[in-house]
C-alpha cells in the first residue's frame, strides 16, 4: 500500500498531500505496535521482541528498548515533574487559544520535535539493534522506493519526522 501511495503521489502531484497523510497513518500503526511491544503485549517474550523490533520499531527507526525504557518511565511519572518532556509536551498544552501550542505545532512540522524525541530514545537504545534498523531501512528503500533516496526522504523520513509528529500531538 505504501508503494502505491508513493507512486500515486509522484504521478499525481495534487494527490501528494493525501499520500503523505495515509503514509503517516501507516507510521502510526507501526508505532502503535511498537508501543504494545514495549508493554510486552504482543505474545511470548521472544515473539514480542522479534515482532516488536523487526515488524514495528525498526521500520520507524526505533528499537523496543530505546523506546520502551523511557516510555515505562513516562507511565511511572505520568503528569508529574518527572515525566519526560517529550511525552508531557503532548498533553501539557491543549488549549488552541494558547500561542505556545501553535509554537509546538511549528516544532512538529519542522522536525524539531522528532529529532528531540528520537535523541531521547537513543540514550536507552540497544546498540545491537542498529544493524537491524539499518537492514530494515535498506529494505524499505529498496522495496518501497526502488532505491531512490530522494523518494525515501520525501515519502518516509520527512512525513514521519513532521506531519506524523503533529498527528501525535493532536492524538496525544
Q: Say what percent of the chain tops pLDDT 70.
A: 83
Contact 140, 59 (CB under 8 A): yes
111 backbone φψ class: left, alpha, beta (φ>0; ψ -120 to 50): left
Average pLDDT, the chain: 86
Do 117 and 86 form a contact (C-beta atoms < 8 A)? yes
Distance between CA atoms of 134 and 49, rounded to whole angstroms?
17
* Distance separating alpha carbons of residues 27 and 104, to the nearest angstrom: 20
pLDDT tens for 135-167 read 999 999 999 999 999 999 999 999 999 999 888
The length of the chain in residues reads: 172
pLDDT in tens, 18-52: 999 999 999 889 989 999 998 999 999 999 999 99
Of the ranges 10-19, 30-39, 70-79, 97-106, which one carries the lowest mean pLDDT score?
A: 70-79
Report pTM.
Answer: 0.82
The distance from CA 74 to its chain's CA centroid, rounded to whole angstroms, is 17
Whether residue 57 is predicted with pLDDT greater than 80 in this model: the reply is: yes
Sequence-distant (6+) residues with CB within 8 A of 38 are: 52, 64, 67, 68, 71, 72
Amino acid at each position: 500500500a505504501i508503494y502505491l501511495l508513493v507512486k500515486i503521489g509522484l504521478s499525481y502531484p495534487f494527490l501528494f498531500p493525501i499520500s503523505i497523510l495515509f503514509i503517516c497513518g501507516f507510521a502510526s500503526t507501526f508505532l502503535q505496535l511498537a508501543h504494545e511491544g514495549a508493554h510486552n503485549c504482543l505474545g511470548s517474550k521472544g515473539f514480542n521482541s522479534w515482532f516488536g523490533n523487526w515488524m514495528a520499531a525498526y521500520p520507524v527507526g526505533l528499537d523496543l528498548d530505546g523506546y520502551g525504557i523511557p516510555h515505562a518511565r513516562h507511565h511511572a511519572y505520568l503528569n508529574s515533574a518527572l515525566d519526560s518532556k517529550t511525552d508531557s509536551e503532548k498533553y501539557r498544552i491543549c488549549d488552541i487559544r494558547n500561542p505556545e501550542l501553535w509554537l509546538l505545532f511549528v516544532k512538529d512540522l519542522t522536525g524539531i520535535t522528532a529529532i528531540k524525541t528520537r535523541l531521547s530514545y537513543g540514550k536507552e537504545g540497544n546498540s545491537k539493534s542498529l544493524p537491524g534498523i539499518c537492514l530494515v531501512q535498506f529494505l524499505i528503500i529498496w522495496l518501497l522506493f526502488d532505491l531512490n533516496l530522494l523518494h525515501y526522504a520525501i515519502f518516509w523520513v520527512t512525513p514521519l519526522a513532521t506531519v506524523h509528529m503533529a498527528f501525535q500531538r493532536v492524538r496525544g
